[in-house]
């Protein structure tokens, strides 16, 4: 059995997944629609504490300033 198998990684660590997310949002921030570069942040739409899964389709690409203002301090 795989009970002790570690859960999915909390962040999108693979470049491939980040690229998928980037392309899914057309290279633009999901909030302000600004063009993103490689420094974009992969944000969990559903907070990790509520639903601990890392799925590209449940994430959004945000620019750094949007992700920062969303995340609070
Ligand atoms: Zn933004």
CATH, residue 25: 3.40.1800.10
Per-residue pLDDT 10s for the chain (73 aa) are 555 555 555 555 578 888 889 999 999 999 999 999 988 998 877 665 665 666 667 889 999 999 888 765 5
pLDDT value of position 28: 96
pLDDT value of position 4: 56
Query: Would you state the structure tokens that stand for residue 8, as one six-digit string?
Result: 């999915």
Range of the domain at 53: 15-67
Query: Residue 42 and residue 25: Cα distance in Å, rounded?
Result: 11
Place of tokens 């301090």: 73
Total domains in the fold of the chain: 1
Quote the ligand 1 centre to 5 CA distance (angstroms).
Answer: 36
pLDDT value of position 35: 97
- For CA atoms 32, 37, 62, 27, the dihedral sign is positive
With beta carbons less than 8 A apart as the criterion, state whether 21 and 12 touch.
Answer: yes
Quote the ligand 1 centre to 17 CA distance (angstroms).
Answer: 19
Quote the ligand 1 centre to 3 CA distance (angstroms).
Answer: 39
Q: How many residues in total does the chain contain?
A: 73
pLDDT value of position 38: 84
pLDDT value of position 54: 62
Quote the ligand 1 centre to 9 CA distance (angstroms).
Answer: 24
pTM of the model: 0.66
Query: Is 2 among the domain residues?
Result: no
């Amino acid at each position: 059995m795989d009970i002790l198998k570690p859960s999915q990684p909390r962040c999108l660590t693979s470049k491939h997944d980040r690229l998928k997310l980037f392309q899914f949002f057309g290279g633009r921030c999901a909030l302000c629609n600004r063009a993103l570069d490689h420094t974009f942040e992969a944000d969990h739409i559903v907070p990790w504490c509520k639903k601990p899964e890392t799925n590209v389709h449940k994430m959004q690409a945000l620019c750094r300033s949007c992700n920062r203002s969303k995340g609070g301090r």
